Structure 1
Amino acid sequence: MTTTENQANPIGFGRMLRKEDARFLRGKGNYVDDLNLPGMLHGAVLRSPYAHARIKSIDISAAQAHPKVKAVITGEILETLNLAWIPSLSHDVVAVLATDKVRFQGQEVAFVVAEDRYSARDALELIEVDYEVLPPVVDAKKALDKDAPVIRDDIAGKVDNFIFDWESGDKAATDEVFANAAIVVNQDMLYPRVHPAPMETCGAVAYMDPIDQKLTIYSTTQAPHAHRTLYALVAGLPEHKLRVVSPDIGGGFGNKVGIYPGYVLAIVGSILTKRPVKWMEDRSENLMSTSFARDYHMKGSIAASADGKILGLRVDVLADHGAFNNTAQPTKFPAGFFHVFTGSYDLMAAHCSVRGVYTNKAPGGVAYACSFRVTEAVYLVERMVDRLAQELKMDPAELRMKNLLRPEQFPYTSPTGWEYDSGEYPRALRLAMDIAGYEELRKEQAQKRAKGELMGIGISFFTETVGAGPKRHMDILGLGMADGCEVRVHPTGKAVVRLSVQSQGQGHETTFAQIVSEVTGIPPEDIDVVHGDTDNTPFGLGTYGSRSTPVSGAAAAIAARRVVDKARIVASAMLECAPEDLEWEKGRFNIKGDKSVGKTMAEIALGAHGTVELPEGVEGHLNAECVYDPPNLTYPFGAYICVVDVDPATAKVSVRRFIAVDDCGPRINPMIVEGQVHGGLADGVGMALMEVIAFDEDGNNLGASFMDYLIPTSLECPSWETGATVTPSPHHPLGLKGVGESATVGSPPAVVNAVIDALAPYGVKHADMPLTPAQVWQAMQGAPYRTDLAIQ
């Protein structure tokens, strides 16, 4: 791994080892499945073997007779408790347990609570369900046929599988641009269904205390406060009697944003048995039934002048949302942020339309490391730019450089109405090309092609849109996307920071300590970060969409500044001077002109809790809070270059090099940023080359284990080469932009563009992901290897 940082960090953050690694590296992490409460019972879910079937009857008598079974729960039992349904993140209604019929393979049908996990699983075999198998529909295009089986016939008046029809941009202006363009290129493409596949599967431990009637839920959630509010709304329980604790999470990637039936079933199990109940899914359950992502059928069109000036973009999307519309995205945008599909280029006009449909698949639409459909949008535009380069016979780097937004154009309003905050796009692309040695790579490629060897060079340039705010535009089920932070300085000068976002491996305990340290001067090792417990943290909507640093990072910075502002007043009282007579030197206030007279933050903290007489109206202590409602999203960006070799005999793709230049604004901790980028790059390689959740015509999930759903290992990943530019966001208190999902957004098109570039001698224009050897081999069969194409 090589790293290039071409600009000093303007704020002064730096590398430090992660504080949380002391427990993780020793195997001392605290995960939900580590919990073992006194008297705890275990739950297991009976799942449907069919993708579409009517439930004629359920016989639970034999399971109830099992000596170790304490409860068997069906949908009818849930209805008596008013807990038969849960709201999805898109206002759809999702059954906790199926009652009328099952709508995807793996849907929850019954729940067994027993003395141990093995007995609970054994008892599932004793439940007899009489199914009437119905014809399934797993093809999104066929789901719209007039004779297609209606999946959501539980919705009054529903006679088809249509969910929504949504559009963005100016259709008339776009049509005019296309009518007058010298070149128009069209391409159909699929972004296949993939799964976040976190290290830790989903689970919960619920306990309703019979004494104080307080319900505590330990769960694998990325949004504990949102879960608490939704549980209160659904169950009718007083919210102050609900506590959601999200301990260490072994990866989330959007998979752990929503509420799953298993969470609710653990709660019901505890209410019925008056004992703690644990539910943990296994890997096959996780791959089969928890939220998927992508599954977008896209038709892209790009219009340009004869010399390569991109004029317009147009896209039609068919979005497969599975059996329930469980999209984790703002209410106002049913298709998510797909309208950023104009990417990083200066266009005259753009228009997109998105139709959502139901199919007999597990609910899709999770914000899987993609900021609400930005991943698909970037993939579309970057493939279309490469397709245009093919038609123009122009180098794809030259074409991008010609059309990238320029620094003087920021803040830039896109043709679909989004205001990009800042950027130096050409500089990032030039840096990536310099690291790669781009001209030499092209020479090497020409030499190899002359010998019949397949080498490809792929480029992608992306603009991310992250932060999930402001709340006037964005919400989840009516809850505005703002986040809180509390900074509390103890009398001895040590501090605790309480966050509403939840870490799932990003290093929050380190980076947020660094943010507060940078502002207050308190050393990071003297700052504890608390998160994941609704009883001990301020309200917020959690971690997804790369919103931790852009939103909660801003809240932490502002709260810390308020601590410093209050410290100035306390220090002035201690030094018997006016507040304006003091000057700030990180961690200390001095009398102006005399640095020998001053007070450190530790001294000020003690004074704030002591007997110092403070000005009227100024309370003691050094505590501050902030609820941050961002004025806009932030827009990190990056330039990626991938180099691949394709074996002409086996069609196997090997990623030889990958260069990633990211601009996420100032970097709090470059080491952690690099780790985030490395993980996202591996994620993108996996999606581009091997990951897909496929279904047969009967709706059977063909990717329900890691033997079938392949994820990348170190063998498939090269030694990453990373670089950085720094363009601060003008509206963030520290200029921070976020980086958690950038690499996942930018890497798949770079890999695919590289593979298609390698196959240019065969005349290949496009092939859909994942580019497995079989898929690449099929693409190569279209035409023989042509030397005239090879040497272009």
Structure 2
Amino acid sequence: MTIAPEAPHATHRRREFTDNDGHPVGYGRMLRKEDPRFVRGQGKYVDDVVLPGMLHLAILRSPVAHARILSIDTSAAEAHPKVKAVVTGADLAKQGLAWMPTLSNDVQAVLVTDKVRFQGQEVAFVVAEDRYSARDALELIDVEYDVLPAVADVRNALAPDAPVIRDDLDGKKDNHCFDWETGDEAATAKVFDEAQVKVTQDMVYPRVHPAPMETCGCVADFERVAGKLTLWCTSQAPHAHRTLYALVAGIPEHKIRVISPDIGGGFGNKVPIYPGYVCSVVASIVTGKPVKWMEDRAENLISTGFARDYVMRGEIAATKDGRIQAIRTNVLADHGAFNGTAAPVKYPAGFFGVFTGSYDLDAAYCKMTAVYTNKAPGGVAYACSFRITEAVYLVERLVDCLAYELKMDPAELRRKNFIRPEQFPYTTQTGWVYDSGEYERTLDKAMELADYAGLRREQAQRREHGELMGIGMSFFTEAVGAGPRKDMDILGLGMADGCELRVHPTGKAVVRLSVQSQGQGHETTFAQIVAEELGIPPEDIDVVHGDTDNTPFGLGTYGSRSTPVSGAAAALVARKVRDKARIIASGMLECSIADLEWEKGSFHVTGDPTQSVTIQDIAMRAHGAGDLPEGLEAQICYNPENLTYPFGCYICVVDVDPGTAVVKVRKFVAVDDCGTQINPMIIEGQVQGGCAEGVGMALMQMIAFDEDGNCLSASFMDYLIPTALEVPHWINGSTVTPSPHHPIGAKGVGESATVGSPPAVVNAVIDALAPFGIRHADMPLTPSRVWDAMQGHPTPSF
């Protein structure tokens, strides 16, 4: 029997890509290298891991949001014939494992020892021979709760009579978590005192959930003889997780291996360390067997990391002709029962300091107060760079409110106040240094693609017939690529990333990264970066990630760190290899290094292209006999000198049904500038996915609670996510403004769309409702909320 070789996959095809002005950008469109295994159903996720003798873990979760534990009786569960262990918080406390650090230097209970602080909190766990027996045994555990009053609304958390949630903290007598401020309060107050026009708007960014395709889980395997722990884990930051497991469990870090295989979406949800991970480690140590824990959808929605949940008062000051002078805001941030915010220690409120947006201001000031509530810990970087989504939403809603007040076109108001290209690098009034930007060019591109003038004419005609059509715009500047390490760390771990590259004798290469893909196409993007630097075909470059034993140390993927940090590391390590190859080539060609010229993939003697050697020739010689440098490999740790600042302009068109208040997104234009583009096809895909998330957040998504702290959004029947029916055909565009300090000029784009799309959608809906005199309504703009807003102004003025 003869088996024909499989035909080369279409990933080998490349073609040049041009932007909307016809200029070549990027390294060329190339189909993703990782897709063949996914489309064939051959991806490997944590739940696919099956080990000999593996046991299964299930977690008993509290049905109430706030209660003291009076007693726990586990005897019936322990008697179950398939149960191997039942562990409570008291059991962990005896081993010093009852509490673990969070990413914000707070502590969180692994299992409850004193009292429950949110619905769904971990109370005990069962280890059994199979998943079903473990789940069944949870019903046999008898817990007596003394239910306490709960605080579910952040606006009530600091009331004098509010029950204290974190009484585990010494001397804690209220629910205050921290205060943070940025900008110049006095200078901003002076500008407001003298301003001709002032607009104030209260707004809420509701609690939302990343809702990844794959929920969180892990398989822990502790080898007692070797004292080695291997953990297959749904982690966006394997190396950071390894360090924390060493701190919590006391296992030497070099004896811990964390493997993150294929991850079915992360969006920030898989950055934190959850108690379930620690419970699995403990269970494997106790039983001497591998133990798997996989949460179900309800557990994921109720107990894992949330985002947003900000109550904001924004103020904007301007002249009568529309020059914005200052922005001021006061923010109340709900951090849940434990502060699990994934943000650099120096910035407890994350990067909210970019609330000044893309505008040249005279002054700005923000005060934030974070509080504890009886909810699951919040603050994950859900598809945003540490609270930038909320910051952009605030400023873009304020700008539209100002446009409404001044009766100016929102696009022209933005144009009038942009930071100009010659002002870059631009230091904002809150101290952030924007690297580069040509904002007006991007605005013009978006308006052209949307036919903005034509839309406004159409809107005027439709309003004559009583139709509710809205046009919304947002313009955002994002801060991504967390680093440099001198300013940014999590639990003392600096935000720098390593990269290793080895070219084998036959010219094939392996690049090892410290970032972890959750679907962004890392195996393609990083291969293209190295290919561009060395001239090795991308299909000959293997990208390794997600295994702490086989990759260099780094802080993982979130906050759009991949290309701005590890992409830079990949380019620089390839250049180090190229420099080494130059030395070998000079020996092969018997000329000085200075006499060599590089053309992608080969060196030749200056003035004589016929005297040349390819990178493949050099790789073979580097591993051969002789006195030339041995091997063709290098490693680097890249510590960025600054963040990168991608930006974009989004225009959304909606229709609101006056009879049902249903909002239909008819058209959406997204023009992004992420600096140098690696693979435009992957960029477009990420932007389209992010825009879908933004439509969901703006129109339907909210994790809701009743006054007793019961979560009302524990399934996809209650927590709605957008489908193909709710989103339009996206219109993508781009401009290219490279970052001056990044080795290849790339800025990152993975989270831009979730930053820019929610305010664009909300601005469009409010614009549609302008005849009713409505200036603001809070997300999600469900039909009931839109209907209520319309009923408050029953006589529209068309």
Normalising to structure 2: TM-score of the pair? 0.97
Paired with 1:623 and 1:291, the residues of 2 have a C-alpha distance of 39
Partner of 2:280: 266
Secondary structure, counterpart of 1:295 in structure 2: strand
Equivalent position to 1:72, from 78, 81, 86: 86
CA RMSD, Structure 1 to Structure 2 (Å): 0.9
Paired with 2:498 and 2:465, the residues of 1 have a C-alpha distance of 61
C-alpha displacement of 1:78? 1.2
| 1:714 counterpart letter in structure 2 | A
Q: What does residue range 190-589 of structure 1 map to in structure 2 within 5 Å?
A: 190-589=204-603
Equivalent position to 2:649, from 639, 642, 645: 639
Paired with 1:731 and 1:460, the residues of 2 have a C-alpha distance of 27
Asked whether the 8 Å contact 1:4–1:722 carries over to 2, the reply is no
Paired with 2:567 and 2:632, the residues of 1 have a C-alpha distance of 19
| 2:688 counterpart letter in structure 1 | H
Secondary structure, counterpart of 2:558 in structure 1: coil
C-alpha displacement of 1:5? 2.0
Asked whether the 8 Å contact 2:397–2:763 carries over to 1, the reply is yes
2:691 equivalent to 1:681: yes
Q: What does residue range 10-159 of structure 1 map to in structure 2 within 5 Å?
A: 12-159=26-173
Secondary structure, counterpart of 1:193 in structure 2: strand
Asked whether the 8 Å contact 2:310–2:333 carries over to 1, the reply is yes
Paired with 1:355 and 1:9, the residues of 2 have a C-alpha distance of 47
Asked whether the 8 Å contact 2:98–2:113 carries over to 1, the reply is no
C-alpha displacement of 1:12? 5.0
Paired with 1:203 and 1:783, the residues of 2 have a C-alpha distance of 49
Compared CA separation, residues 700 and 12, structure 1 to 2 (3 A) = closer
Deviations 1:392-427 (A, max 9, x none): 000101101111111111000000000000000000
Paired with 1:530 and 1:7, the residues of 2 have a C-alpha distance of 36
Secondary structure, counterpart of 2:515 in structure 1: coil
C-alpha displacement of 1:209? 1.2
2:189 equivalent to 1:179: no
| 1:557 counterpart letter in structure 2 | A
Paired with 1:154 and 1:4, the residues of 2 have a C-alpha distance of 58
C-alpha displacement of 1:251? 0.2
Paired with 1:703 and 1:709, the residues of 2 have a C-alpha distance of 5
Partner of 1:626: 636
Paired with 1:4 and 1:698, the residues of 2 have a C-alpha distance of 55
Compared CA separation, residues 34 and 586, structure 1 to 2 (3 A) = same
Paired with 1:436 and 1:362, the residues of 2 have a C-alpha distance of 41
| 1:288 counterpart letter in structure 2 | I
Give the number of aligned pairs. Answer: 782
Partner of 2:10: none
Secondary structure, counterpart of 1:778 in structure 2: helix
Partner of 1:723: 733
C-alpha displacement of 1:612? 3.0
C-alpha displacement of 1:200? 0.2
C-alpha displacement of 1:10? 6.3
Partner of 2:627: 613
| 1:287 counterpart letter in structure 2 | L
C-alpha displacement of 1:141? 1.2
Asked whether the 8 Å contact 1:114–1:120 carries over to 2, the reply is yes
Q: Structure 1: where are the runs of 5+ without partners?
A: none
Deviations 1:305-349 (A, max 9, x none): 010000000000000001000100000111111110000000000
C-alpha displacement of 1:763? 0.5
C-alpha displacement of 1:4? 8.1
Secondary structure, counterpart of 2:312 in structure 1: strand
| 1:234 counterpart letter in structure 2 | V
Paired with 2:549 and 2:94, the residues of 1 have a C-alpha distance of 30
Secondary structure, counterpart of 2:523 in structure 1: helix
C-alpha displacement of 1:267? 0.5
Deviations 1:88-133 (A, max 9, x none): 1100000100110000000000000000000000000000001000
Compared CA separation, residues 546 and 180, structure 1 to 2 (3 A) = same
Asked whether the 8 Å contact 1:183–1:306 carries over to 2, the reply is yes
Partner of 1:164: 178
Deviations 1:185-218 (A, max 9, x none): 0000000000000000000000001231210000
C-alpha displacement of 1:237? 1.1
2:721 equivalent to 1:711: yes
Moved more, 569-578 or 701-710: 569-578
Partner of 1:648: 658
Paired with 1:84 and 1:223, the residues of 2 have a C-alpha distance of 23
| 2:376 counterpart letter in structure 1 | A
Paired with 1:502 and 1:8, the residues of 2 have a C-alpha distance of 33
| 1:502 counterpart letter in structure 2 | Q
Deviations 1:35-73 (A, max 9, x none): 110000000000000000000011111111100000001
C-alpha displacement of 1:7? 4.7
| 1:32 counterpart letter in structure 2 | V
Paired with 2:350 and 2:131, the residues of 1 have a C-alpha distance of 39
C-alpha displacement of 1:665? 0.6
Paired with 1:11 and 1:766, the residues of 2 have a C-alpha distance of 39
Compared CA separation, residues 783 and 11, structure 1 to 2 (3 A) = closer
| 2:767 counterpart letter in structure 1 | D
Paired with 2:569 and 2:51, the residues of 1 have a C-alpha distance of 35
Paired with 2:151 and 2:794, the residues of 1 have a C-alpha distance of 37
Paired with 1:784 and 1:123, the residues of 2 have a C-alpha distance of 56
Secondary structure, counterpart of 2:408 in structure 1: coil
Normalising to structure 1: TM-score of the pair? 0.98
Partner of 1:672: 682
Compared CA separation, residues 785 and 445, structure 1 to 2 (3 A) = farther
